[in-house]
Chain A
Amino acid sequence: MERETISVTVNGRAYERAVEPRRLLSDFLREDLRLTGTHVGCEHGVCGSCTVMMDGVTARSCLTFAVMADGAEIETIEGLGSVEAMHPVQQAFWEKHGLQCGFCTPGMLMTAVELLKANPDPSVDDIRDAISGNLCRCTGYQTIVESIQYAAKLMREDGP
């Protein structure tokens, strides 16, 4: 199949790659760039495990073709936080036991980051609503809700 060349910035680094038009963004990230933190749990847009940030908003990389990301800025879980310090959302999930097997976690974290950007002080209902597109089979969601509330607190205290 014919390939198209795309340029994308992923976690602040510019890449130019030739991809088949049918190549999914999830496969592109995982296989071509070896960024395996983005997970594929259903490949039909329901579980949210594959959630990444595309030009500042969350996108399901399993429903996005890599060619659609041409010219875009992508952020994945690997770009969250720094080597020295985790992002407050990561920190909060750690403190509040917001993960068990860790498979849904990257998608959950990206969704939480987006929520907290728009709403720095979300209620429990706001949080449950925001993560309703992300399935988790391990935690029962309660500790995820608590993690996101705690992250909001950390972020409010730290300032932007």
Chain B
Amino acid sequence: MYVGQAIRRREDERFLRGRGRFVEDITLDQPIAHAAFVRSPHAHAAVTHVDTAQAAAMPGVLAVLTGADWTAAGHGEAEGVWPVKDMSGADSRTAYRPLICVDGVVRCVGEIVAMVVAEDRHQALDAAEAIEVAYEEKPANTITAGALDPDIPLVHPAFGTNEVMVTEHGLKEETEAALANAHHVTEVVVPTNRVTAASMEPRAYLGHYDRVNDRYTVWTTNQAPHIVRRYFTKSLHIPEHKLRVIAPDVGGGFGMKLYHYPEEGLVLWGAIVCDRPVRWVGTRSECLLGDTHARDHHTVGRMGFDENGKILGVKFETLAAFGAYESQWQASITNAYHFTMLSLAYDIPAIHTQVRAVYTNATPVDAYRGAGRPEAVYQVERMIENGAQEMGIDPLELRARNLIPPEKFPYQTALGITYDSGDPPVLMGKIKALADYDALRAEQARLRAEGQWMGIGISAFFDMAGAGPVKMMNDLGAKVGCYDVASVRVHPDGRITVFAGSHSHGQGHETTWSQIAADRLGCDIDHIDLVEGDTDRVPMGIGTWGSRSLSTAGMAVYTAADRVVAKAKRMAAHMMECAPEDLDLADGEFTVKGTDRKLSFAAVANASYHSGDRPSDLEIGLEETSFFDPADCTYPSAIHLCVVLVDPETCAVTLRNYWAVDDVGTVINPMVLHGQVHGGLVQGIGQALMEECAYDAESGQYLSGTFMDYAIPHAEDVPSFGLDAHFTRALGNPLGAKGAGESGTIGAPACICNGVIDALWHLGVRQITQPMTPKKIWRAIEDAKRTQH
């Protein structure tokens, strides 16, 4: 069995030897021209004049293109695949992110106004600088909290409001009643900071148009290449069969590389206009500004408890930033992934939530690792923590009293989602033991007596992973079918190529998909190769996002491999003169049960292609495809626990310990699993302590344009993690796998913030906005002192 083994990764050698092939590394048989962009320096302005004459005459310049050219060419927009759906029935106010400014108004810093294509990058940049754009500045707002206040400038005045849509879910009356009758009510105001994925590989695109054969090719840093084809049917109106999308090695995605970014459409446009391949590679500043941002919720919440700390009901009112425009998957957060998960790991009888999505003059928000669930966990867990502290009940004990007990699974939450399997009390027991919780509390008391500030943070949650089935996701607003696809091709020599519609940009599919296939096919893992990321080679795919690939594409591999085995068994039975049911397949050989009669898989494969002696109703060849639609989403769960030390002198936070106990169902490769958990945790730590896409409130200028200003965790900033696990099988797929990509980013921000609040509670601190920088912590302590005196 390969499944369950910590096999070292089969894709690693090329990266370790510097032979990875990223978009920036691609060469073609004709010289590649380069694109550079002129971007708005203003958060909101009318573009009154664009003068391209001087730039067009500069050396090496092949084309200078503007929104007017785009409109004249009849091109379109990047339409959403998960568009806004206003559940109250009112018209949603959709304004998709334009590829280039076409209506004479720029609505956020960084919006593209013009493109230069030139022979080399420097020439393109020089010419872009020579383009003169006249702007007339308009009032702007980049802040989510007040976006609906009456005197706030409108991002899209035609809508008459900054509100994109309103949704409400859950049990309104029951929740009001629960809060009215509660023994204790906790209220918190919790903004979730705006962050960005900041993959180490910047976004990059290469477009090519083969005029003679009328074929288009795009190499893209994207997680879902088949969906890129779909975007192009709307932006450049290219039919899907004419466009080949290749997503080669991609250096991290985290959800952020799922979209049809302006530059992706524009380089292909440039390639068509100039009849030359055109490439753009983002600078870090362009990426920190133009990559989709994430989170940016502003939530007011109230939670009611009975006298024993049992949660009776919880109510949320959230403003969710969209930024200046709607990005293609944006409503997957507000309409699918946020509200559904607000019950976390707790048995809460009444929940009601209202979300109002708002436009601001900031970069569009879209999904980033966790997408809606980190916000949900932060919002709920902050209330639980404060409630426990206020009621004087040990925070772990209060949580334990509220966990969903194992006998209630499958458990339907007050928001209508049903968790198929899980056992939160076991996770809690394990983390308590792992962290030696009682000893930590004793240490905390001792240190506090000495004037040291130690805090213990906890978060417990469920994730909705494995996006699918198609119908459920359609009902939640998806306009793409959430299945996935794999083909298993057995070659005549018995070796195998697997084609999958997922895309690995760090996840290790070449290893894990091969582990699954090798087990099903009873063959050596080295007899299998994997192809992903090429729409001309892979039949179809929905791509890798939302911790979905294992339970969709992985399951498609599993299913297609089983179909191959079933067919091969018929051929083998014919050759061995027995019934297919009498055959076992293992170690590359068919064996007649209970005998030593054997026939190699390779011989059967060869005969499948080249022998006329076969069952009359058995088609030639040995290749099967599965379009796998799972029976359900998957619901991984986890509990996190951390220890923080806050320095009373500097207010700096040291994250001393971090433990996580995960339930991700069946594990394919524990080494890969741990890597996913670690990576997510560090991104979550970044959100809690240092990361923020910041805007100047006055001017709307973007302040986080370099890695000096946008701080992501270094090796020194984070501890080593203590992980444990307890696995309950997912019921929605035969593998029993749940998906594991997002647990870290979902649980860590809440856990760490709770730890810091726990450390400072005795000083009167009740809430600190993330990222919890020393300055904010100092300010919170000072404010607490003032209100107490």
Binding site for B on A (CB under 8 A): 22, 30, 34-44, 46-47, 49, 76-78, 80-81, 86, 90, 93-95, 97, 99-106, 109, 124, 127-129, 131-145
Contacts and interface: CB of A to CB of B under 8 A. Distances in A.
23 contacts: A36-B22, A41-B202, A43-B284, A77-B18, A80-B17, A86-B17, A90-B16, A90-B17, A93-B12, A94-B12, A97-B9, A97-B671, A100-B679, A101-B250, A101-B505, A103-B199, A105-B15, A135-B707, A137-B252, A137-B254, A140-B677, A142-B678, A145-B715
Given A39-B201, A41-B284, A140-B721, A99 B17 contact: no
A38 B13 CA distance: 15
B679 A138 contact: yes
Contacts of B675: 97, 100, 138-140, 143
Interface in B634-684: 671-672, 674-675, 677-683
Given A101-B506, A128-B715, A139-B679, 20 more contacts: A30-B24, A36-B22, A36-B25, A42-B284, A44-B284, A44-B707, A90-B16, A97-B674, A101-B249, A101-B250, A102-B11, A102-B249, A102-B251, A109-B16, A133-B714, A134-B715, A135-B200, A135-B707, A140-B679, A143-B678
A138 B506 contact: yes
Contact of B720 (A38, A101, A124): A124
Nearest to A93: B16
B540 to A, nearest CB: 24
Contacts of A97: 8-9, 671-672, 674-675
B200 A139 contact: no
Contacts of A94: 8-9, 12-13, 16
A138 B251 CA distance: 9
Smallest CB-CB A-B distances: 3 pairs: A37-B18, A102-B15, A103-B251
Contacts of A104: 200, 251
Contacts of B680: 140
Contacts of A127: 715
Contacts of B197: 137
A141 B715 CA distance: 6
Nearest to B285: A44
B716 interface: yes
Interface residues of B, number: 58
By secondary structure, the A interface counts as loop
Contacts of B18: 35-38, 76-78, 80, 106
Contact of A137 (B14, B712, B744): B712
A12 B201 CA distance: 28
A141 B718 contact: yes
B41 interface: no
B5 interface: no
B207 to A, nearest CB: 19
Given A44-B284, A97-B671, A100-B679, A105 B508 contact: no
A133 B505 CA distance: 23
B707 A42 contact: yes
Contacts of B15: 99, 101-102, 105
Nearest to B252: A101
Contact of A135 (B17, B21, B249, B712): B712
A102 to B, nearest CB: 3
Contacts of B198: 137
A94 B675 CA distance: 13
A34 B252 CA distance: 23
A47 to B, nearest CB: 6
Contacts of A141: 678, 682, 713, 715, 718
Nearest to B202: A41
Contacts of A81: 17
B54 interface: no
A81 to B, nearest CB: 7
A49 B508 CA distance: 20
A94 B713 CA distance: 23
B19 interface: yes
B699 interface: no
A102 B18 CA distance: 9
A47 B708 CA distance: 10
A46 B252 contact: no
B17 A42 contact: no
A36 B23 CA distance: 11
Contacts of B16: 86, 90, 93-94, 99, 102, 105, 109
Contacts of B683: 137
B588 interface: no
Given A44-B284, A132-B714, A140-B721, A103 B200 contact: yes
B262 interface: no
Q: Find the residue from B18, B508, B671, B713 having the highest chain A CB count within 10 A.
A: B18
Contacts of B671: 97
B676 to A, nearest CB: 8
Contact of B22 (A78, A103, A139): A103
Contacts of B713: 141
B769 interface: no
Nearest to A36: B25
Nearest to A130: B715
A37 B284 contact: no
A143 B12 CA distance: 14
B659 to A, nearest CB: 13
Nearest to B198: A137
A85 B678 CA distance: 29
A4 B679 CA distance: 44
Interface in B669-712: 671-672, 674-675, 677-683, 706-708, 712
A132 B715 contact: yes
Contacts of B508: 100
A81 B682 CA distance: 31
A127 B714 CA distance: 12
A140 to B, nearest CB: 3
Contact of A47 (B9, B24, B200, B250): B200
B645 to A, nearest CB: 16
B474 interface: no
B294 to A, nearest CB: 14
B254 A142 contact: no
Nearest to A34: B27
Contacts of A144: 715
A103 to B, nearest CB: 3
Interface in B307-334: none
A116 to B, nearest CB: 16
Interface in B76-130: 122
Nearest to A22: B122
Contacts of A101: 15, 199-201, 249-252, 505-506
B483 to A, nearest CB: 25
B507 interface: yes
Nearest to A38: B18
Nearest to B675: A97
Contacts of A131: 715
A47 B706 CA distance: 10
B412 interface: no
Contact of B17 (A37, A103, A129, A137): A37
Interface in B553-598: none
A44 B12 CA distance: 27
Contacts of A133: 714
A99 to B, nearest CB: 6
B708 A46 contact: yes
Contacts of A142: 678, 720-721
A90 B19 CA distance: 13
Q: Find the residue from B14, B678, B681 having the highest chain A CB count within 10 A.
A: B678
